[in-house]
Structure 1
Amino acid sequence: MTVSRRISPDGKELVIAIDARFDFSLHQLFRDAYTSITTQDLSYVLDLSKTEYMDSSALGMILLLKDHVQLYAGQLTISKPSETVRKILEIAQFQRLMTIE
């Protein structure tokens, strides 16, 4: 289980990627991936393309990320969730809160 982050070469996009399982064990790593970023109008992409499992604590962590993004007038997109993860996001109605691609 890993959390990685990268900033685009132009500095306008932060991509946070979660591998395998997204659960409470990643809480601190996930927070560390974005809390030091205070750039205004940044695009945040949460890449869930390699995430096979997600629990309710992950939903809460995504909401905390959303609050951070809004604080700095950014945009949050969830990118390429697996079918299983997409269903969890839809049940929680996250599509009403942010873009899911």
Structure 2
Amino acid sequence: MTINNKLSADGKQLVISIDERFDFSLHQQFRDSYNSLTTQELTYILDLSQTEYMDSSALGMILLLKDHVQLHAGHLIISKPSDTVRKILEIAQFQRLMTIE
């Protein structure tokens, strides 16, 4: 289970990618992937294309990321969730809170 993050060359976009499982064991690593960034109006892209499992703690971590993004007037996009993860996000009605592409 790995989290990778990459800031774009222009500094306007941060992509956070999560492999395979997104659960509580990634709590600190996930927070560290964005917490030091205080850039205003940054677009955060949470790439869940490789994520096959996500539990309720992952939903909570996404909400904490959303709070961080809003604090810094940014925008959060959940990108390419797998079918399984998309169903979880839909059940939790995350499409009402953020963009899911």
By how many angstroms is 1:22 displaced? 0.1
* Paired residues, number: 101
- 1:82 maps onto 2:75 in alignment: no
CA distance in 2, matches of 1:43, 1:10: 12
TM-score, normalising length: structure 2 = 0.99
Aligned partner letter, 1:49: S
Q: Is 1:42 matched with 2:42? A: yes
> What residue number does 1:53 align with?
53
TM-score (norm 1): 0.99
Question: What's 1:98 paired with?
Answer: 98
1:33 aligned residue: 33
Q: Deviations over 1:48-82 (max 9, x none)?
A: 00001000000000000000000000000000000
Q: Secondary structure at the match of 2:89?
A: helix
Structure 1 segments, 4+ long, off by >2 Å, are: none
SS in 1 for 2:5: strand
- RMSD over equivalenced CA pairs, Å: 0.3
Q: Distance in 2 between matches of 1:24 and 1:10?
A: 32
Aligned to 1:5: 5
- Within 1, Cα distance between the matches of 2:47 and 2:91? 19
Query: What residue identity is the alignment partner of 1:81?
Result: P
Describe the superposition over 1:10-36 as per-residue Cα deviations: whole angstroms up to 9, x where unpaired: 110000000000000000000000000
